[in-house]
Structures are given as C-alpha cells and as structure tokens.
C-alpha cells in the first residue's frame, strides 16, 4: 500500500490573502450597500442551476470560489443587511457583530461543558447577566443563548411541564397514560406561530393551545384568558402555561403582562414572555414599561439577532430558575462527566436539548461593549423616533390609514384613497388589491423591501425600522416612493 502523504489545511498564506479580501469585501458592502435589489429577484432554482451538481474532484483555490460567490450566489441574496430592508423584523449584522462571528469561527470553540470552554461558558453567562440588567429584569433571572426564539419558547414550555414534576413526563412520557390530564397552554391569537410549533413538538397537542382573543389594539384579553383557564380546570384539564407577547409579530402589540401574571399566580401557571422583537426597547430610558410585569415571569426571550444589531443567530433565553431547565434536560453520560470540577460550574449542555454550543456570546459581547448601554439606547431611540415621525405623517396624510399603535419602530398602515366607497360591498377586496400591488411594485423596484400581514381581516402593510444604518432620509425616500406608487395604482385599479 502506498503511503498517504500529509496535506493539511489550506496554506496560511492563502488563508491570509483570502481573509483580507473577504474583510475588504464586507467593508465595501457595509459602506456602499447592496448593488442589487434588496429582495432577491431570482426565480426558484436559478441559484441551484449555477452550481455544480457534485463537489469538485480536486480542491479549487479559494480566490476562485469568491468569484463564484459574486456571480452565482450574490444575485440570490435578499439583503437583510441593507438600511432599506424594512420587511418582517430587522436582523442586523453590525460591525462588531460580524467581527465577533469571524473570531468565534477562528477559535472553533465548543462550549458544551464548562471545561471544554471555560471562557465560552463564563462569557455567555456574564453577557446575559449584562443583557438582563440592561433590560431591567430582576437579578434572579439567568440566561443562556440559543439559536432562535422558537427554540427559547420550546425550552420554556418544556421547563413549565417539568415544573410539574408530579406529572412524571420526563420519565414516563405522555402517550398511553390514563392518569395524565390534557395539558393546556394559552397564548393570544396574535402570538407567534413558534408557540404552536412548540406545543406540537412537546406532544401537548395543537388543539390544546388556547388562542385567546385580543382587544381592539391586538392585546390578549385577560378576561377571556381567565375564563378559558377556569373552563379548562372545571373540565378536568390541566392549565400549564401562558405565553404573553411583548411586541407581537403582526402589529407589535403588547399583552397586559401585569394582569396576565396575576392570573398565572392565582392558578399556578408558568408565565413565559415572548419579547423576541420588542423586549430590547426596555434599554431606552422612558421605555422601560414595555417589560412591565415581566419581573414576575418564569421565563422570557429576547432576540439580539433582531433589533440589537447582532448577526443571526442569537436568541437570549432567561429563566427564573435554571434548576428547572436542568431538571428537564440534564442527562450526563459517562463520557461527559468532569470529575475535577463539580457543581460550582455551569455546563451549558444541561440547560437545553443541544450538546454542542458555538461561541455566540463573543459577538454579543462585542456588540454590547462597542456600543455601550447609552449607545444602544440612542440607536433604538432613533428608530422609535423615525417610526413615530412616519406615523404622524401617515395620520396627517389623506388617503392612508394607520392600522395599529406604534409601540416600537414598526408602522402598520394601508392606503385607502379618498372617495373609494363600499357601494358594491367589495371595498376590502379592492383595498387588498391596491395595497398588495403597491408592495409588489415597491419590492420589485429593488430600492426597498416591505412585507405585509392581516389585522382583523384587513390587508396591512408593515414598515419596520431597525437597521443600524437606516436614516431619516431612507424612511422619507421610501415613504415618498410608496405614496407615488399608491397614487399610480389607485388610478389604475380605480
Ligand atoms: C421573530 C419572532 C419569533 C421567532 O423568532 P426566531 O428567532 O426566528 O425563532 C417569535 N416570537 C416573536 C414575537 C417574534 O417577533
């Protein structure tokens, strides 16, 4: 047998050269913005068609791959990192966040156990303490980082179930048991779909999620919550947890958490707060009240990868009692025991499903450190101000209607031309056609990307401001574009 020669990694000289080229590329991208439509204009399959069917037989120089990135992949990018990406909610890769990702990749940590990365573990716990304090949450909360709010809420509901250790779900499961009542989770009809997914994944059952109606500004109705809990109890079911939302996905409404906490206390329910988007507003002086009542929660999630300038992915999951997470998830096989350190350390694998853990805390640490509390607060306050200015403009402008309060930096509205009446009973349908056309034209122009929702059946455009480089000029230009398109489309649809 011939000897297999050593080849090793790519040469460090090539690494250095390609690395510098990538950093320069990113710096230009940040400085100049995308040179392409913000919403990718490719057809399904177009990117794949530009890619080889199989991995190359022999290695290719990285420089060649960077060219291919430019020609094949770049046209298939939707530019989340553009100041005029105003769809959904923002997800911003700021300078310090990007560098944190790079550094984390370079050192390749896996903080599954304290000893497999003492720095990874201790920095994660410390920056989440920082974030907790920035949000004004009580010190009893401890947090760790997971990929998404969807997983944070899943973990919260699993901990809620484990908090009822008398149910013995961890050991005995849920299927085939006659001694286990139906479990119920409660969230508003405006709650994020991830809550329902979590309920499905935990085996609680989709039909056992009670979707509580909302009031005229899309907040959970506490009277309806109370009634649902009482009905379920009377019927022999077991109310387990309530998920309150601070900043709902469609309209950014804020559920009345203090009153919901009261219901939870009365009935012994776990209170989880989904503040994935809106929670960070509490950093802004004068806006602390967005998290009012959350000091009484059992768990809470905020996503730094949304409106806190940290690149995907980084979801901060806080719990009042990490012992309950550990009770739900800790499982230590022999090969993961560490005899030299005992209970004085946290092994982050004990706090959730995943074993391996990348060093996400590094980017959050750099973001929080580079901008500081005041710098973050000023940037968030600026976005809130831009959103309020836009709301004022909408309220004063004929032919456009605002459809929800602006609680954060997202504005919900629709164009409704003066003189359009409901004589034929088709006004809603015509307004939907008009507004959908305005959005499609705006997005197709490539200068902006907006998304829509439905609020109480009404087709609604959403404009979410949250990119770290968005300025007043951006918002003004986008608004003027939308107004012009609305006039054109209204004339066309009539
Ligand atoms: C965005 C969002 C989610 C889902 O976030 P992921 O991190 O993408 O899972 C959940 N809840 C709310 C309120 C959100 O805005």
Ligand 1-lining residues (CB < 6 angstroms): 89, 148-150, 192, 194, 245, 247-249, 274, 276-277, 303, 315
> What is residue 60's predicted lDDT score, i.e. its pLDDT?
94
Closest residue by Cα to atom 12, ligand 1, is 276
Specify the residue for token string 């009365």.
266
Nearest 5°: phi and psi at 193? -60, -20
**328 Cα–ligand 1 center, Å:** 23
State the pLDDT at residue 234: 98
Q: Which atom of ligand 1 is least distant from the CA of 305?
A: 7
- What pLDDT was estimated at residue 64? 93
Quote the DSSP letter at residue 319.
E
* Long-range own/partner contacts, residues 192-195 (CB < 8 A, 24 or more apart): 192/149, 192/150, 192/153, 192/245, 192/248, 192/249, 192/274, 192/276, 194/148, 194/149, 194/150, 194/153, 194/154, 194/274, 195/153, 195/157, 195/243, 195/274
Q: How far apart are CA 401 and CA 391, in angstroms?
A: 10
| Residues in the chain, pLDDT under 70 | 1
Whole-number Å distance, alpha carbon 22 to ligand 1 midpoint, is 30
Q: What is the pLDDT of residues 209-252, one digit of tens each?
A: 999 999 999 999 999 999 999 999 999 999 999 999 999 999 99
The full set of domains in the chain, from first to last, is 12-32+41-76 (1.20.1340.10), 109-358 (3.40.640.10), 374-493 (3.90.1150.170)
pLDDT value for 290:
98
Greatest Cα pair distance in the chain: 87
Residue of 89, 155, 190, 192 to test ligand 1 pocket, by largest number of atoms within 8 Å of CB: 192
* Strand ordering across the sheet containing 183-188: 142-146, 315-319, 299-302, 270-274, 238-245, 183-188, 209-212
Name every residue whose Cβ is closer than 8 Å to that of residue 371 and which is 6 or more positions away in sequence.
Answer: 94, 96, 309, 379
Alpha-carbon span 438 to 29, nearest angstrom? 28
Tokens of 270: 């776990």
Concatenate the DSSP letters of all residues of 385-454 into one string: HHHHHHHHHHHHSTTEEE-S--SSSEEEEEE--TT---TTS-HHHHHHHHHHHHHHHHHHHSS-B-EEEE
Predicted TM-score (pTM) of the model is: 0.96
Sole residue written with tokens 């499961």: 173
Ligand 1 atom index nearest CA of 88: 1
Residue 334's pLDDT is 83
Strands 299-302, 315-319: pairing is antiparallel
């Amino acid at each position: 047998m011939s000897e297999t020669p050593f080849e090793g990694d790519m040469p460090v000289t090539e690494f250095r050269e390609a690395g510098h080229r990538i950093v320069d590329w990113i710096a230009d991208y940040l400085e100049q913005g995308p040179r392409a439509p913000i919403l990718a204009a490719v057809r399904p399959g177009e990117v794949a068609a530009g890619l080889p069917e199989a991995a190359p037989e022999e290695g290719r120089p990285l420089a060649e791959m960077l060219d291919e990135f430019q020609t094949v992949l770049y046209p298939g990018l939707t530019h989340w990192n553009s100041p005029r990406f105003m769809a959904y909610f923002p997800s911003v890769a700021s300078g310090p966040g990007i560098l944190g990702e790079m550094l984390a990749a370079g050192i390749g940590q896996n903080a599954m156990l304290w000893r497999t990365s003492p720095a990874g573990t201790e920095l994660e716990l410390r920056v989440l303490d920082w974030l907790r304090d920035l949000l004004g949450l009580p010190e009893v909360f401890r947090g760790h980082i997971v990929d998404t709010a969807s997983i944070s809420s899943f973990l919260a509901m699993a901990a809620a179930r484990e908090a009822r250790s008398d149910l013995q779900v961890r050991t005995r499961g849920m299927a085939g048991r006659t001694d286990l009542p139906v479990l119920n989770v409660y969230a508003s009809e405006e709650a994020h779909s991830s809550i329902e997914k979590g309920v499905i994944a935990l085996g609680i059952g989709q039909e056992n999620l009670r979707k509580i109606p909302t009031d005229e500004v899309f907040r959970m109705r506490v009277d309806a919550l109370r009634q649902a809990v009482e009905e379920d109890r009377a019927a022999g079911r077991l109310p387990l947890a309530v998920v309150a939302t601070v900043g709902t996905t469609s309209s950014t409404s804020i559920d009345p958490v203090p009153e919901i906490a009261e219901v939870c206390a009365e009935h012994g329910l776990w209170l989880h707060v989904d503040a994935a988007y809106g929670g960070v507003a509490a950093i802004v002086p004068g806006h602390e009240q967005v998290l009012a009542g959350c000091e009484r929660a059992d768990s809470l999630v905020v996503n730094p990868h949304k409106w806190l300038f940290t690149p995907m992915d980084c979801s901060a999951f806080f719990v009042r009692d990490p012992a309950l997470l550990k009770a739900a998830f800790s499982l230590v096989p022999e090969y993961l025991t560490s005899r030299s350190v005992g209970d004085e350390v946290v092994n982050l694998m004990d706090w959730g499903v995943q074993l391996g853990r990348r060093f996400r805390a590094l980017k959050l640490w750099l973001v929080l450190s580079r901008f500081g509390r005041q710098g973050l607060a000023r940037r968030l306050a600026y976005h809130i101000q831009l959103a309020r200015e836009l709301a004022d403009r909408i309220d004063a402008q004929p032919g456009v209607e605002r459809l929800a309060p602006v609680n954060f930096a997202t504005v919900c509205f629709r164009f409704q031309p003066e003189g359009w009446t409901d004589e034929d009973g088709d006004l809603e349908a015509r307004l939907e056609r008009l507004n959908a056309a305005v959005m499609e034209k705006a997005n197709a122009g490539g200068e902006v990307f907006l998304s829509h929702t439905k609020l109480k059946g009404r087709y609604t455009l959403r404009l979410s401001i949250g990119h770290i480089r968005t300025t007043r000029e951006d918002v003004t230009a986008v608004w003027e574009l939308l107004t012009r398109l609305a006039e054109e489309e209204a004339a066309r649809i009539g």
